[in-house]
Amino acid sequence: MNPLAHGLTPKMRPLSPRRSAVIAAVDIGTSKIACLIGRLTPKPPQEVLTRRSHSVEVIGIGHVRAAGMKAGAVVDLAAAENAVRHAVHCAERMAKVQIESVVVPLTAGRIGSELYAATVQLHRPVSDGDIERVLAAGNHHSVREGRVILHSLPISFSIDDTKGVREPRGMVGQKLSVEMHCATADLAPARNLMLTVEQCHLAVEAMVSAAYVSGLAVLADDEADLGAAVVDIGAGTTTIAVFSGGRFVHADGFALGGQHITMDVARGLTTSLADAERIKALHGSAISDSFDDRDTVAVPQVDEADHGGPNLVSRAALARIIKPRIEEMLEMVRDRLAASPFAGLPRGRVVLTGGGSQLTGLGELAARIFKRQVRLGRPLGISGLPEPAKGPAFATAAGLLVYPQAAYLEQFEPRRTRHLMTGTDGYFAKVGRWLRDGF
């Protein structure tokens, strides 16, 4: 069965909390493609990152400049495929394993969210069977033509009018409801991303929201509990995931990213994209008022032969080119957050991640625009990452290796393995555990 034809992305087999596994992930971004191979080992509960059942050690990594991608979507299948193959090959060689399937993130396709509730009648105190029935009822949510479900996750239970029930088992009432979060995206970019991976003779184990998995990698437990908006600023996209009560409750995104700032710099300074990229990263800033006009940068000119050498440009002038675009992006994020469950989380903070979050002064400008606490996020608790991959640009890639630990929460597909996973440590017991831990 091709799940996409049924409005579903492939769903990964939940990882047993007691087993080790080798997992592979490919982050197919607009500017870079990164393949990570990780060993997941069951870990004892610790004081930090308590929701993680496994520790993650990266045993292979390959990253290459992206090709055939625009705004997070594949625009040239052959070029993208080639780049994916190359990244996978490097990671396989380093890990000395051959991979057959990968977890991939999606940033394109106007990712959005729907919240909905499923309800069942109760005739006696809530049992495992009732929880199973209400989750199964939640499973029947359908999506509009042309959209696919990336995630369908239980957020909270309620009994009659009492919301936020942590542990419904044993409670009495007339109706048991579960509130579900369903994250969806356009079918076409999802299908083309899957095709790209499959042409590399790899199966797509799961396709996930990039900002969600970035959040799994960068958020501390408290942040996910009290409320956080993870904003992953990539090259061609900015994607958002809101967490509350430990759960992923909202997704959004748009097709603007660091690349648009680079293009503004190239145009504004009449220099090449490569020089604009370097100048932005080394000397650019989101804040223009902290520079002296004598603080200058040499800018190679595209028509240097006619001009007789590079131009000198002040850093203040460079910041004035960058500022309107980054402000536009942050204001879009602000407006989208205002229309999301984040608006109801007064203690919620914004965590900026993705390569684009490294722009100097961004945190300060973002705090002014959001009027919230803002911090920059990089992957937490992942061992074996080489120095260049420890930064925010690898949040999504790292998060793809954390995701398998959260895959058991997904509700949108009847799983063949489901009947094998009931029992004391089984599937529903674990959902119960997570909902309990999540509050």
In the complex, the smallest distance separating the C-beta of residue 265 from ligand ATP, rounded to whole angstroms, is: 10
Cα(310)–Cα(313) distance, integer angstroms:
9
Sheet containing strand 175-186, edge to edge, reads: 112-121, 175-186, 147-159, 162-165
Joined together, the tokens standing for residue 411 give 């509700």
In the complex, the smallest distance separating the C-beta of residue 280 from Mg ion, rounded to whole angstroms, is: 17
Q: Interface with ligand ATP by CB under 6 A: which residues?
A: 29-32, 66, 72, 107, 234-237, 257-259, 262, 277, 280-281, 284, 354-356, 358-359, 393
288 binds, among Mg ion, ligand ATP, none (CB under 5 to 8 A by kind): none
235 binds, among ligand ATP, Mg ion, none (CB under 5 to 8 A by kind): ligand ATP
SS3 call for 361 = coil
Cα(428)–Cα(439) distance, integer angstroms:
17
**Residue with Cβ nearer ligand ATP (258 or 379):** 258
**Residue with Cβ nearer ligand ATP (181 or 325):** 325
11 binds, among ligand ATP, Mg ion, none (CB under 5 to 8 A by kind): none
The mark string for 382-421 relative to Mg ion (x by CB under 5 A, - otherwise) is --------------x-------------------------
**Residue with Cβ nearer Mg ion (135 or 219):** 219
Residue type, position 174, single letter: Q
**Residue with Cβ nearer ligand ATP (134 or 393):** 393
In the complex, the smallest distance separating the C-beta of residue 177 from ligand ATP, rounded to whole angstroms, is: 36
Cα(64)–Cα(46) distance, integer angstroms:
35
393 binds, among ligand ATP, Mg ion, none (CB under 5 to 8 A by kind): ligand ATP
In the complex, the smallest distance separating the C-beta of residue 381 from ligand ATP, rounded to whole angstroms, is: 20
SS3 call for 351 = strand
**Residue with Cβ nearer ligand ATP (176 or 265):** 265
Cα(261)–Cα(11) distance, integer angstroms:
36
Taking residue 108's Cβ as centre, other Cβ atoms within 10 Å add up to 26
**Residue with Cβ nearer ligand ATP (68 or 138):** 68
**Residue with Cβ nearer ligand ATP (333 or 393):** 393
285 binds, among ligand ATP, Mg ion, none (CB under 5 to 8 A by kind): none
**Segments of 235-299 assigned E as strands:** 238-244, 247-254, 296-299
53 binds, among Mg ion, ligand ATP, none (CB under 5 to 8 A by kind): none
Cα(149)–Cα(138) distance, integer angstroms:
13
User: Which run of H or of E encompasses 91?
Assistant: helix 77-95
Rounded to an integer, what is the distance from CA 326 to the centroid of its chain? Answer: 20
Of 68, 154, 234, 361, the one binding Mg ion by CB under 5 A: 234
In the complex, the smallest distance separating the C-beta of residue 391 from ligand ATP, rounded to whole angstroms, is: 8
Alpha-helix residue ranges (DSSP H) falling in 141-254:
187-199, 210-218, 221-226
Taking residue 157's Cβ as centre, other Cβ atoms within 10 Å add up to 25
In the complex, the smallest distance separating the C-beta of residue 70 from ligand ATP, rounded to whole angstroms, is: 9
246 binds, among ligand ATP, Mg ion, none (CB under 5 to 8 A by kind): none
In the complex, the smallest distance separating the C-beta of residue 353 from ligand ATP, rounded to whole angstroms, is: 8
In the complex, the smallest distance separating the C-beta of residue 262 from ligand ATP, rounded to whole angstroms, is: 5
Q: Which residues of 215-233 are buried (b: 16+ CB within 10 A; e: fewer)?
A: bbbbbbeebbbbbbbbbbb
In the complex, the smallest distance separating the C-beta of residue 83 from ligand ATP, rounded to whole angstroms, is: 11
**Residue with Cβ nearer ligand ATP (215 or 257):** 257
> Which residue from 20, 3, 404, 411 is spatially nearest to 208, judged by alpha carbons?
404
DSSP 114-144: EEEEEEEE-SSS--HHHHHHHHHHHTT----
Taking residue 16's Cβ as centre, other Cβ atoms within 10 Å add up to 15
**Residue with Cβ nearer ligand ATP (26 or 345):** 26
Contact residues: Mg ion, CB under 5 A: 29, 234, 396
